[in-house]
Amino acid sequence: MGRIIILFISSCLLLGISFSPMFSIIREFWIDKKVTERYEIHQAYQEYGSDSHLDVQELIIDNKNIKIREEQTGRKAPLPYWEETENMEPEDIVKIHFLINDKEISTPDEIWLSNEDKGSRYFSWLDIFNVHDLKTDEKQIKIIQRLKGMTSINEPMEGMKWKIITIREDGKVSEKILSYSHRSDDPLAVQLINFATISPMNIGYYSDITQGYVTYFFPLFYPIFTTLCGLILLIIALILLYKRHK
């Protein structure tokens, strides 16, 4: 009987320490699978000569003329530490106006224009998508804009926010602000933010547990291996208990 008790205790300990991270990992993959299956996503500007970044200020999508207009502020953005080491020039801060058929659809917000060789002037700040909901057959245009700059990788993500503008087929426009802390409210927006690389780091739907580098310790040993060991020990203990009372 003592052997069975040891197996039970060992399995409970392993499963106890593994439950929370294992649940978070499974939940992240499950939500990502559901979003991927439901929505067909394409970057709206691919037909304009770029398949990786927004590099134009005017697009025509489904007979809707979308314009991006820059309003100069005369200010420069603080240099992130990684740009200081490369002796790069400070980036211009501009206010971005969005217009559909020459009608402004949103209050302008500031972005830092990119001065890097890669990407476009809106790199890591702005992206536009065609989204097809395969469940409802509804098609939408999504404009995603980051609302906060970062100068250090050590800055907390909790202050990060994004503007999400949705343009329906009938021309109706809606807008909302999604914060990092409440990102689970809109799984589609999370996938678009990651797709557009307009976040300092990839984000998860509830947790960022699946967004880090995979190592032998995490998550392979802990919590995956520890969960499997806990389940195996529990099964062995149950089999021994069954045989003992048979």
Hey, where are the domains in the chain? 2-18+218-244, 28-149+156-196
Give the separation between CA 126 and CA 53, rounded to whole angstroms. Answer: 9
| pLDDT single digits (tens) 43-78 | 887 655 455 556 678 888 888 999 999 999 999 988
What pLDDT shows up at residue 46?
62
- Work out the burial of residue 117: count CB atoms within 10 Å of its CB; fewer than 13 is exposed, 13-18 middle, 19 or more buried: exposed
For residue 209, pLDDT beyond 90:
yes
For residue 225, pLDDT beyond 90:
yes
The rounded mean pLDDT for the chain is 89
* Mean pLDDT, rounded, for 221-232: 95
For residue 104, pLDDT beyond 70:
yes
Give the separation between CA 134 and CA 113, rounded to whole angstroms. Answer: 35
Q: How far is CA 140 from the centre of its chain?
A: 19
The 10 Å Cβ neighbour count of residue 209 is 18
Reported as a pLDDT band with limits 50, 70 and 90, residue 120 is: confident
Residues 6+ apart with CB under 8 A from 119: 52, 53
Reported as a pLDDT band with limits 50, 70 and 90, residue 150 is: confident
